[in-house]
Structure 1
């Protein structure tokens, strides 16, 4: 079943995760690395960062 592919699908962000996201983003960490560190999809991280007006380094 495709629906079960991502364990944490649509889970709310905790204050702790948001804090960590801000810290990692401000340190210039790449999207992929941040997503991995937070065990969230890159899409989820990108969306949250956008909502918080954060810019994430686009390292290739």
Structure 2
């Protein structure tokens, strides 16, 4: 991995399968961090996509 690259999949478009999983995880009430890890995406990416799709992601403190 190159220096400065935090995610291998930087700025990759969302696949239909990923979106399906995101919606499923959100419905189950999974935490943002857990969803991000499961999808191998940044929390920011997951949060932005969820907002775009009108999904509510549980924020665990």
* TM-score exceeds 0.5: yes
**Where in structure 2 are there 5+ consecutive unaligned residues?**
none
**Where in structure 1 are there 5+ consecutive unaligned residues?**
none
Two-structure CA RMSD over aligned residues (Å): 0.7
TM-score norm. by structure 1 comes to: 0.93
* Alignment partner, residue 48 of structure 1: 49
Local SS of the residue matching 2:11 = coil
- List structure 1 segments (4+ residues) > 4 angstroms apart after TM superposition: none
Q: Which piece of structure 1 moves more, 36-45 or 4-13?
A: 4-13
Q: How many residues align?
A: 59
Q: Offset at 1:26?
A: 0.5
